[in-house]
Amino acid sequence: MSRTFEELVAEAESVDVSGWDFSWLDGRAREERPSWGYQRLMAERLAHATAALDVQTGGGEVLAGASKLPPLAVATESWPPNVEKATRLLHPRGVVVVADPDEPPLPFADDAFDLVTSRHPVTVWWEEIARVLRPGGTYLSQQVGPSSVFELVEYFLGPQPEKVRRGRHPDDARQAAQAAGLRVVDLRSESLRTEFNDIGAVVYFLRKVIWMVPGFTVDQYRDRLRQLHDLIEREGPFVAHTSRFLIEARS
């Protein structure tokens, strides 16, 4: 027997959304992964680094997945629940977690790191990345690209202007990195199929990825959520497309 709209929504409203562990969505949503394998690339570079910084680490899950960490490893995070989660996860691995507001300047000296990484940063302060990297150092990042999951965004917010749809374009990232004095050595992008199998998955996703529908609450969008629930029940998973790009730059 299928669960009701109210049951699915109530469950998704009550679950903890701190950190970047999306395992609650297993069986409820599916997202294709980029072919380059960011965590593997990150782990390979961490294994050869001497001092590394992971910016906007979330709950620390991605960094913790590396089998070998450098002698000096630091992570920054701004959201207090994530700072707490990352501290519990990363301190046993010898990683220092720094609460940082994600605004310049980064709280580190010039030339402090030979590797800076970041998975899905909300903002990238390129001048600061360049400043804290040692000469010859590397910045590796997987980022959300333009119009990511906009089928879902526009379902709730309506058609978005072209300037918004084009935001976070990889070409702009390349230009910003070069303007900061970095040399881009790799830039790849992919569009990936994403499926939401029930309305609970949608609610959880929008509560967790808060910039998709800013200020999202179930009460505000209950009517649209109910209509989307009926659509999924009638036609199957709601399909969107996730945009991702990989950028690697050197100082």
pLDDT tens sequence for the chain (251 residues):
689 999 999 999 999 998 778 999 999 999 999 999 999 999 999 999 999 999 999 999 999 999 999 999 999 999 899 999 999 999 999 999 999 999 999 999 999 999 999 999 989 999 999 999 999 999 999 999 999 999 999 999 999 999 889 889 999 999 999 999 999 999 999 999 999 999 999 999 999 999 899 999 999 999 999 999 999 999 999 999 999 999 999 99
CA-to-CA distance for 45 and 150, rounded, in angstroms?
A: 32
CA-to-CA distance for 5 and 73, rounded, in angstroms?
A: 45
- Extents of the domains making up the chain: 5-250
CATH superfamily of 5-250: Vaccinia Virus protein VP39 (3.40.50.150)
Which runs of E-coded beta strand occur in the chain? 29-31, 51-54, 72-77, 96-99, 113-119, 133-144, 183-196, 238-250
